[in-house]
Amino acid sequence: STTEKPVLLNNIADAEAFVSGAEVAVIGFFQDPQSPESEQFRLAAGQIPEVPFGLSSSAAVLSHYGASANTVTLFRRVDNDRRDLDMSNRDVDAKKLIRFIRMNELRLVTEYNPVTAIGVMQSSLEFNLLLITDKMSPKHPERMRKFWAAAELYKGKILFILLDSNLKSNERVVSYFQLKKSQLPALAIFHTPDDEHDVLTPDEISIERVQDFCNRFLQ
């Protein structure tokens, strides 16, 4: 609920526990917790209930994270990376902050869309594994469970991405891998520096199959 957000982080131990406790965590570093910028930060926090927001005015915490005042930092566990947004600029409001978070909130399995695509492209991970599938399929929840379990095994190595084949905006990606709807679900692995890729069209998704496919490509 919005009343619990953001969490006040008064020391380094609290801040570290906060960051490590979520796949994606956002901290606002504000010298003045009542400033107009922190007000916009609170507005954004209220609109993204699934992302934990913390707020710190502690000089020790700011120094620990090398953050300057009036900065919002998004921490993500999947590639152990962070993204900073300077709130000192008067143009940055709650709407822009929400877009910044939506763009950069890469998760264990990130759903691909025009907004998350930007974060995916900027990730430090060079390997992306796509599950191209129909989200409306009755088999979807079970496929996702297995894909998720496999993603745990490659944290920090491969970015796992879900691509819904029903979305018109995703048709270009499906055709890039030369796949037809009848061949789905499919797995596509991609090495971003040189565009090298491989595609697998299994009858069904299993953790072992995903592992085998990833390991072969990594080797």
Strand partners, 197: 190
pTM listed for this prediction: 0.85
pLDDT tens-digit readout, 100-131: 999 999 999 999 998 899 899 989 899 999 99
Q: Are residues 90 and 127 in the same domain?
A: no
Q: Are residues 115 and 185 in the same domain?
A: yes
Q: What is the mean pLDDT of the chain?
A: 93
pLDDT value of position 89? 76
Amino acid at site 165 = S
Domain count of the fold of the chain: 2
Q: Are residues 182 and 98 in the same domain?
A: no
Last residue of a domain, one of 52, 86, 104: 104
Neighbours of 101 (CB within 10 A): 23
Q: Is residue 2, in this structure, part of any structural domain at all?
A: no
Q: Which of 128, 157, 158, 131 is nearest to 145 (CA)?
A: 131
- For 26-58, the DSSP string reads EEEE-SSTTSHHHHHHHHHHHH-TTS-EEEE--
Q: Is residue 1, in this structure, part of any structural domain at all?
A: no
Spatial separation of the C-alpha atoms in residues 187 and 130, rounded to whole Å: 6
Last residue of a domain, one of 39, 69, 104: 104
CATH of the domain at 181: 3.40.30.10
Spatial separation of the C-alpha atoms in residues 181 and 35, rounded to whole Å: 52
pLDDT tens-digit readout, 24-40: 999 999 998 889 999 99
Q: Which of 139, 166, 137, 161 is nearest to 150 (CA)?
A: 161
Q: Which of 46, 4, 45 is nearest to 25 (CA)?
A: 45
Residue 69's domain spans which residues? 7-104
Res. 207: pLDDT tops 70: yes
